[in-house]
Amino acid sequence: MARSHTGTGAASRGKIGGLLMASPPIIVAAVFVGFPILVAIAYSLGHVGGLNRTIATIARGQHTVAAWDQMSLGAYRDVFTDQRFTHDLGVTIIVTLIATLAVTALAWVIAVYLRTTPEGAWFRSGVAKLISGLAVVPMFIPVVIASWAMLTFYAADGFIRSLCADLGFQGPTWGYTMVCVAIGLVWTNLPFATLMITSGVQSVPDPLIEAARDAGAGLLTIVRTVIAPLTIVPTVIALTFTAIGTLGAFTMPYFTGPNAPSMLGVDMVSYFRSYNRPQQSVVMAVVVFAVAAVFGAFYVWANFRSAKDSGRV
């Protein structure tokens, strides 16, 4: 009797303690992230009073409402009837998908290469270590500098073209094109995905792989039936982080991309700063937020599944 009493007491104390420990980050996120998001969404629906008054005095082309219980979809109509936006949204989503898939595929190749290096193969293990080390380098180079380097590398008088010219043929000019943007985004996002997926693949127990090998499975079969199912959670996490990061990218497309079509990150800044249309800029942010939320749902699902697998839920 007494024992069970203390048991529940400890459990409820643990729950409250857990809640207290979790609450500072939740409060910070709610005040500094959640609240501004709500204010911005209210602004996009035409509420220009209160905290939105400062921005509303400077902005032009606004749609406003008179009372707090009304809302105006005028700014949304502005944005969605603008062909430039629908076009740019399409381009942004396509670039995001291409970059995300390329990043994940590259990270997987690196991870599998590293994992399946047999013991004693000193040359291959050296190469594997070098590649995994190099893949993390972009994390330590600022994106502005990287995009500038990328641009000069693929420019009309850049390395690729010069090399092609020496070999006697016309190389492609990728500077100021979406190809350059996609390459740049793969470059910037590769380190995180590689760290994530490599660590997932490394944690697959040796006996499982050896058992499969003993049963006569080839590399592809081992990857497909043993490693992949055990690494699905880190892969989904890498996928969602890369997708969300790419979706809102600004620096890479701004420096290395074409003027039109552009990615939404660039559009938002232009609308906000150059066209003096902050309301329409916020509408785009809401759209990006909604698309990112779809990717975010995968992340939550993956986290939940990993918690379930380890018996925490």
For the segment 67-86, give every residue that binds other proteins (CB under 8 A): 82-84
Q: Which stretch binds other proteins (CB under 8 A): 24-32, 98-106, 171-179, 218-226?
A: 171-179
Kindly state whether residue 195 participates in binding other proteins, applying the rule CB under 8 A: yes
Can you tell me which of 73, 109, 157, 293 binds other proteins, judged by CB under 8 A? Answer: 157
Binding flag, residue 153, other proteins (CB under 8 A): no
Q: Is the peptide bond before 261 cis (omega within 30 degrees of 0)?
A: yes
Residue appearing with tokens 């609308």: 271
Query: At 24, which helix (H) or strand (E)?
Result: helix 2-29
Regarding 43 and contact with other proteins (CB under 8 A), the answer is no
When the beta carbons of 95 and 143 are compared against other proteins, the nearer one is 143
Binding string, residues 203-232; x marks residues near other proteins by CB under 8 A: x-----------------------------
Q: Determine the straight-line distance between the first and last CA of the chain, rounded to whole angstroms.
A: 27
Count of residues engaged in binding other proteins, rule: CB under 8 A: 41
How many Å apart are CA 191 and CA 104, to the nearest integer? 11
CB-based contacts of 73, cutoff 8 Å, min separation 6: 45
Q: Does 57 bind other proteins (CB under 8 A)?
A: yes
CB of 214 to other proteins, least distance (A): 25
Which residue in 105, 294, 296 sits closest to 197, CA to CA? 105
43 Cβ neighbours under 8 A, 6+ residues apart: 52, 55, 56, 278, 279, 282
CA–CA separation, 191 vs 178, rounded Å? Answer: 21
User: Which listed range, 30-38, 108-116, 153-161, 215-223, lies at the site for other proteins (CB under 8 A)?
Assistant: 153-161
What is the smallest separation between the CB atom of 207 and other proteins, expressed in angstroms? 17
Residue selected from 128, 143, 239, 291 as contacting other proteins according to rule CB under 8 A: 143
Question: 190, 187, 188: which is closest to 111 by C-alpha?
Answer: 190
Question: How many Cβ atoms are within 10 Å of 87's Cβ, its own excluded?
Answer: 13
Binding site for other proteins (CB under 8 A): 53-55, 57-58, 60, 82-84, 139-140, 142-143, 155-157, 173, 175-176, 192, 195-196, 198-200, 202-203, 254-255, 258-261, 270-277
